[in-house]
Every structure is written in C-alpha cells, then in structure tokens.
Chains A and B, each alone.
Chain A
Amino acid sequence: MSTTQVDKSAPSERARKIGGMYRTYWLVMLVAVVALSLVRIATGADDITAANTLRAAILSACPILLAGMGGLWSERAGIVNIGLEGQMLLGTWGAAYFTYNYGPWVGLLGAAAMGALGGLLHGLATITFGVDHIVSGVAINIIGLGATTFLAEAFFSDYQYGGPRQLTGLDGLPFVTVPGLSDGLKSLNDQGWFVISDLAGLLAALTTKVSVVTILIAVIVVLTAWILWHTSFGLRLRSCGENPAAAESLGVNVYRYKYVAVLVSGGLAGLGGAFLALVAASGFTTNQSNGRGYIGLAAMIFGNWNPFGTLGASLLFGYTDALRLRSPSAVHALLLVVAIGLLAYAAWRFYQGARTSAIVLGLIGAAFLVWFLTTDTVPREFTGMTPYVVTLLVLALASQRLRPPAADGQVYRKGSAG
C-alpha cells in the first residue's frame, strides 16, 4: 500500500514542528545564560548566577508555577479561572489543617482537596449554571479569603504554635541532595568561569536540597504536557477548550471534561498553597498567597498556554523575586541583562523585516542601557514591581503571538451541538 510512503513523510512534518518548538526553547535558554554570564563578569554581581540564588528562585517559582499549571488545565478546557488566588488560599489552610492533624503527606492531599473544592465551586457556577467565568472567579476569591480567615480563627487558635491568623511549626517534607555532584558543582560555580560556572550554578541548584514537592512539581509539569498532548484524555480535554460543540457531537462528555479540568486546576492551585505553607516556609498565615495566584495566571499567558512556556515564565518571576529579596544590589545588574536582551531581540526583529517594532524595542533597550550606566542602584520599590511590569511589557509586545484556546472563557451549554 502507498500508505507507508505517506507514513514516512507525515511524522517527519510533525517531528519537525515539535523539534522546532523545543529548539527555540533551548535557544532562548542558552542566550539567557550567556547574557547573564557576560553581565556577571562585567559587573561583578556574582549573586545573579549563584547556586543559592537559583535555588531560591526555584523555590519562589514553584507556587507560581503550580498556579500557572492550574490555570493551564482549566483554560485548555475553556474555563478561565481567575479564582486561582482563592483556591490557593484554601490550599494554604488545607495544608496547615491536615498537616497538623495527619502529617505533611496528608497535608498535601488536603491542600489539593481544598483547592479542588474551590475548583468545584467554580465548575458548578461556570459549567452547570453558565455564569461568566470572571464573575465566578472574583466571587471565589472573596470566598476563599473570607473562608480561610474564618476557618483559621475557628480551628488554629487552640492548636500548639497556632493563633487566629497563623499556625507555625508544621512538619516539613523531605529534601533530596545528590551527594558528590552537588558539592562539585557548587565549587565549580564559585570559580567564576564564563558560562561554565553559571551552568554549574544552575545544576547545583537542581541537585542541592531539592524538596520532594519541587520534584513532584517537575513531574506535574511533564505529566501535564504528556497528558494534554499525548493521550486521548488530553485530546478530549483540549477539544472542549477549542470547540466544545464539536467535541460533544463526537460523543465527548464536555461537562465531565470541563469538571475534571477545573477540579485539577483548583487542586494544583491548592498544592501551590501547600508549597507556601509547608515548603517555602513551615507555617500558615492568612492571605498567604498574596497575589501569587494572579501572577501564576500571568505566567500562563506569558507562557502562551503551554506547560513549558509557563515553566519558563514562572522561573523568570521566581528569579526576580529571589534576587530582590536576597541581593537587592544585584538587581541593578539585571538592567544590563534586560538591555542586552531587548537589543538582541530588536536586532532579530530587524533581520525579520519588522522595522518599526525593531526600532521601538531598540529604543527601550537603549533606555535600559542608559539607566544602567547612569545609576548605581535601582530603587528597591521598583524591583518589587518587576513581575508586574514584565508581564505588562510582554503582553504589550507579544500579544499577537499569544494564542489562547479558541473557546476560552465562553459559556457552553450542553446540547448546543448541531
């Protein structure tokens, strides 16, 4: 049969596309590392690629990433979930309550369950009752904050190390260090060699005192990518976000997939809450997520509704957060990184023939360069703004390239097929 002939060409087309995606991903990573390394050497701000900084960046990134993954799951099924913040808060409470009573592993499950409960509420409102997704999300955020504050006061006041607004001393989860490798990489990191030391810093961060939850999150990211793009379950789930009527006409139970998606979404946000209460520090306080749910959503958009894109964006936000807290002075060096990045991107756009956008980008890049050259520090307030400003800039510059699922945010009613 001639099918064999077609068979050969088709996968290669597919493979080429996927390969291309990963190639750009790696290319961007490489450029970032080189730029950081250059800037480190030029400015002497060793902290910007120190293993410990990167480790802290990963820790800061994890809750954002989990929220982002939560957003990804629901939006891929067509449900916008800005209730992530509230679900994350429910997760912080669940983690605290269940860890205190049953230990940290049950705590993780409890956090996911509380988050999923918030997801269920969102699902009921948006799927069954067809309420606007943003409206429901806003309401869930109000409920999430009120409920965790109320429940904390009701339950934690009488606990040991507890109070109406906090519960500390929760049992932690284990860490993993790769023996040998970790130390070797760290000393390599200290050498200050071009690129090699920086990469060693990154690898050291990945092999030193890594929380099992961080590993779990890495697994979640990979699993998400695999489930959504390589299983029939994922195909069905995504079809609900692209064209639910078509999915239903082919026998897909759209409501069920949307519910699964929004439950997973809430559960992941809840896990993000657990990360804050159990791993990032060992204690619960009220309103602990403090906007990380929203940043997770921003990371997902920034990452173009793609798990690895979301990972990259979360790491970026986590990195600026960690650097701001650990070495505010090194933030100044980042100005140079931004300037180089923008100028490089401008050159690339120019090469592609997009003159005006290249000029705009180039001017912004030059402004950053001037800022770097004429100052010694960045006002500390501004470093705190980084994730927000970066998000706005990315959206402003790249919104045309972003591609949300076609039926994202639309209310779908059963029986609309045909």
Chain B
Amino acid sequence: SSSDSDGGDKASDNTSASASASADVCKDADGDGPKIGLAYDVGGRGDQSFNDSAYAGVAKAVDELDATCLEGEAQDAEPESAREDRLRQMADAGANAVVGVGFAYSDAINAVAPDYPDVNFGVVDGFDPDDKPNDNVAYFSFAANEASFLVGVAAAEKTASKQVGFVGGVHNDLIKGFEAGFTAGVKAVDPSIKVDVAYIEESDLSGFNDPAGGKTAAAGEFDKGADVVYHASGASGSGIFDAAVEAGDGNWAIGVDSDQYLTATADQQPHILTSALKRVDVATFDFIKSVADGSPKTSYVTYDLKNDGVGYSTSGGFVDDIKADIDGYADKIKSGEIKVPTAP
C-alpha cells in the first residue's frame, strides 16, 4: 500500500497551512458548509504539533466542504469552567461541529454535550469520563503504539551500535504507550538491540515544555552508545534534535505526532530519520465531513494503521531503503498478525 507516501503528502499540506498561519482561514472563510468550533489545547494554533494538525484538518474542511470556523484557545492552569465556556460559546454561536483538541476537554465536553443535542462534539485523545453515554460526542483515539512500532522498526534497521533510545516527556499512560510500541518494534527486528529509556518528568506536565531537559536526557543516551533516539515529549523535542545534531553524523532522532522533518531547522533535518505520525488532521477532517454528510461519527473512533489514522513519515528520504520492511510490519499489524502492546 502507499499509506506512508500518502502520509508524507498530507503532512506537507499540513505545514503549508501552518506556515501561512497568519493567513488565518477562519477569518476569511464564508462558505455555507458546516460551521466548526475548534477549541485548542494550551499552545493553540502554531504549536507545530497537534493543535496545528487539527487546524490543518479544519483548513481542509474549509477548502473542500465550504466550512466556516471559530477558534478558541486554552490557557495554562485555567479552570474547568473556562473550557466548558469556550465550548458553549462555540455552540451558542451556531457551530454544528465542535472539536476539542486534547484529552483535557473530555470532562468539559461530557458536561456540555447534553445541553446541545443538535451539535456534534469530537475530542482528540478523549474518552467518556462517566458511564452515561453521550450520543453526540465522538472520541478519537490513536493507535500511537502502532506508529511507534513502525519507527521502532526503522530505528532497529538503522542502528549501527545495536543500541537505541527513547525519551518521553512525562511518564504517564499516554507516553508509556509510545514507549511500549517503540520497544516492541525494535525488538521485532532484533531482540538483542538495547533500548535506553528516559523520561524528563514523572508527572509534571512541564516535561513537555523543557528542551534543555530533553537535550540532557537524549545526550545521555547518545553518550552511552545509542545512535537513534525516538522522542515523545512535545515541545521538549527540539532538545532531542539538538542532541542528535551534537552527537554528529550517523546519529538520528525520530520525531513524533507530525512530520517534524518539515518543521525542524536546517541543522536538524539531516538527523531526523522519520516521525511517528498521529493524524489529528485526518480525524478532524473525517469528523467534520461526517457531520456535513449528515451521519456524524459518535462514540469511540479509533485511528490506526488500518484507516491511515497513524503512520510514519518519509520526508528527507532517510528511510527509503528500508521502507519495504517497515511496510511489511505495517501490513502484519493491520492483518492482526502482530499485536502491538500498549504499555511497557
């Protein structure tokens, strides 16, 4: 299949959108398609990560479905009521598809959705916190472990030192899934390869925001002999890329969430082997489309290799030589032959 090259294309769409972030499609859109409310997590549009990815999905909807949109952005340490209020303001303004980016919106959407039965809500990484099902809410979950598995395969095939590394931002369940998939991928290729694991913070979310910590952790792994390091640490990732640059030629970093080759600096690009993709843009667009089509997605929607919801990127062309192997593993996962663990 061509899921990967496909991913690459979409990812470049995504950056062209974020590069022209100032163009701001929501300001100019005036179509008569669905009206979308996009509630960002902290960081908002321009974060080069999943907020941007969600924005790319919305931009595509504006383009292809004549949609219009409204944006709202979370602040640090905001009260739960602020999140709820953001969603309500969107619904009150007539949005018929409201997307909350990030699991922190789960509770707020659960509280708000019953008051707006005609509005459809979607939460990225979300879940229903209580046992009352909401029939106008879709929860997008991503098989990040599968994407991590594939980049694990890439790492295993590329390592010369038989040692690779993983740096997580925060030692929580979400990131442990990345670690588990990555390790499984590496071991699937060669069980003798050693995987060093480091986390920047244990529970403090500042671990996603600490490039210096990321660099120290990654440099530690490079120093001890790893030559490929995969990160799942949000904005700390730039520190991991810096560490790869400092470690010199032949040392690689692997990006996460979006195709980070495209947003990395010129110095870093030669070291970015691939990225594990989490297609928030696909999920967002699909959701909006389903609303526009009158058959809105509800309940849990899993995005995995099978429906192109996750994948890996090929920008830079560093994995072209091993693409066939990786895709082979991808097929085995799709067919269920390989079951990727979700926790280490």
Contact = CB atoms under 8 A, between A and B. Distances in A.
B190 interface: no
Given A162-B46, A165-B47, A380-B171, A52 B206 contact: no
A256 B267 CA distance: 46
A157 B210 CA distance: 19
A81 B148 CA distance: 46
Contact of A282 (B21, B242, B263): B242
Nearest to A280: B212
Interface in B32-63: 42-48, 52
A157 B217 CA distance: 28
Interface in A266-282: 276, 280-282
B22 A165 contact: no
A380 B202 CA distance: 7
Interface string B195-207: 0001111111010
A50 B235 CA distance: 28
B209 A168 contact: no
A136 interface: no
A325 B220 contact: yes
A56 interface: yes
Interface stretch (A108-116, A220-228, A284-292, A356-364): A284-292
Contacts of B198: 325-326, 328
Contacts of B264: 168-169
A68 to B, nearest CB: 17
Given A164-B46, A164-B47, A326-B219, A380 B211 contact: no
A281 B268 CA distance: 12
A166 B48 contact: yes
Nearest to A145: B76
Contacts of A290: 206, 209-210
Contacts of B215: 280-281
A326 B22 contact: no
A53 B45 CA distance: 37
A380 B176 CA distance: 15
Contact of A165 (B43, B223, B246): B43
B76 A287 contact: yes
B298 interface: no
Contact of A281 (B21, B52, B223, B242): B242
Interface string A38-76: 000000000000101100100110010000000000000
A20 interface: no
A322 interface: yes
A384 B201 contact: yes
A326 B202 contact: no
A12 interface: no
A9 B98 CA distance: 83
Given A169-B267, A285-B211, A325 B217 contact: yes
Nearest to B42: A165
A158 interface: yes
A161 interface: yes
Nearest to A52: B223
B210 A282 contact: no
Contact of B235 (A149, A162, A285): A285
A13 interface: no
Given A59-B216, A281-B242, A165 B235 contact: yes
Contacts of A380: 171, 199, 202
Nearest to B201: A384
Interface string A148-184: 0100010001100111111011000000000000000
B217 A163 contact: no
What 3 A-B pairs are tightest by C-beta distance, nearest first? A326-B220, A169-B265, A281-B211
Interface of A: 50, 52-53, 56, 59-60, 63, 149, 153, 157-158, 161-166, 168-169, 209, 276, 280-283, 285-288, 290, 321-322, 325-328, 380-381, 384
15 contacts: A50-B223, A53-B220, A59-B216, A161-B265, A165-B209, A168-B211, A169-B238, A282-B242, A285-B211, A322-B216, A325-B198, A325-B217, A326-B220, A380-B202, A384-B202
